[in-house]
Chains A and B, each alone.
Chain A
Amino acid sequence: AQTVTQSQPEMSVQEAETVTLSCTYDTSENNYYLFWYKQPPSRQMILVIRQEAYKQQNATENRFSVNFQKAAKSFSLKISDSQLGDTAMYFCAFMGMDSNYQLIWGAGTKLIIKP
């Protein structure tokens, strides 16, 4: 069975700093997708970034980028020039092609951006 682990329950940084959130996963599948979602206090789960396992190039979306290490089964999220609006819970999620198309989630990291 696949598992997703986020080892940092909570992190806080000053506004404009760079922060990296960690995620590791375990799977025997070769074809899968990895995601980072953001859940602010409003509760809505918002897609931040997606990585296809068959792509070696790390995904980037504006201030958000990932460091995908397939052999190490690691998928970290880097947020550059952090903003107050980045304050939220961040969840790492895995979707395998053999996983009934379900997302398997980590426990989340609470990120606080301080002014």
Chain B
Amino acid sequence: DAGVTQSPTHLIKTRGQQVTLRCSPISGHKSVSWYQQVLGQGPQFIFQYYEKEERGRGNFPDRFSARQFPNYSSELNVNALLLGDSALYLCASSSSGTGVSGTQYFGPGTRLTVL
């Protein structure tokens, strides 16, 4: 079975631009979470979606938004990019989002560079 997939692998943008990152969860998983990992640090939670509804949001500005589609895939959008948005963006899927079924499995990430 395919794991979590993310696209694109790498992305280079300039300040002020907008970017959309995509994620497809493991088949049968209904929950998707997004994390930002700055070089040399642990990931920081951005969003979690379950059954197409936002269930959790981290401490990120409103420039960050996300959505989940009926097939459970998800998009993360970032507007008005800043240099500080340069990071690895990780997507994780889980079966239900809670308890043991909340164990999160990660995709390979999207490396975003903002110039």
Q: Kindly list chain B residues whose C-beta atoms are within 8 Å of the C-beta of A35.
A: 103
Closest CB of chain B to A86's CB: distance in Å?
A: 18
Question: Nearest Cβ in chain A — how far from B24, in angstroms?
Answer: 15
Establish whether residues A101 and B56, one from each chain, have CB atoms under 8 Å apart when the complex forms: yes
A104 within 8 A of B: yes
**Complex: how many Å from CA A93 to CA B37?**
14
Interface size on B, residues (CB 8 A): 30
A-B CB contacts (within 8 Å), total count: 69
* Residue pair A101, B106 in contact (C-beta under 8 Å): no
Least CB separation from A4: chain B residue: B42
In the bound complex, residues from chain A placing their C-beta under 8 Å from that of B56 are 100-102
Please report the C-alpha to C-alpha distance between residue A2 and residue B14 in the assembled complex, in whole angstroms. 35
Q: Mark B39-60, 1 if CB is under 8 A from A, else 0.
A: 0011111001010000111100
A46 at the interface (CB under 8 A from B): yes
Partner of A102, one of B45, B88, B99: B45
Min CB distance A75 to B, Å, is: 15
- With beta carbons under 8 angstroms apart, the residue of B45, B55, B99, B111 that contacts A103 is B45
Interface residue A44 (Cβ < 8 Å from any Cβ of B): yes
Query: 13 other contacts beyond A37-B106, A44-B106, A103-B43, with CB at 8 A cut-off?
Result: A4-B42, A43-B109, A44-B109, A45-B90, A47-B104, A52-B100, A95-B102, A100-B45, A102-B45, A102-B48, A102-B56, A103-B35, A105-B43
A-B contact pairs, 25 of them (CB 8 A): A33-B99, A33-B100, A33-B103, A43-B108, A43-B111, A45-B90, A45-B109, A47-B103, A47-B106, A50-B103, A52-B100, A91-B43, A93-B42, A100-B45, A100-B48, A101-B55, A101-B56, A101-B97, A101-B98, A102-B48, A102-B56, A102-B58, A103-B45, A105-B43, A108-B42
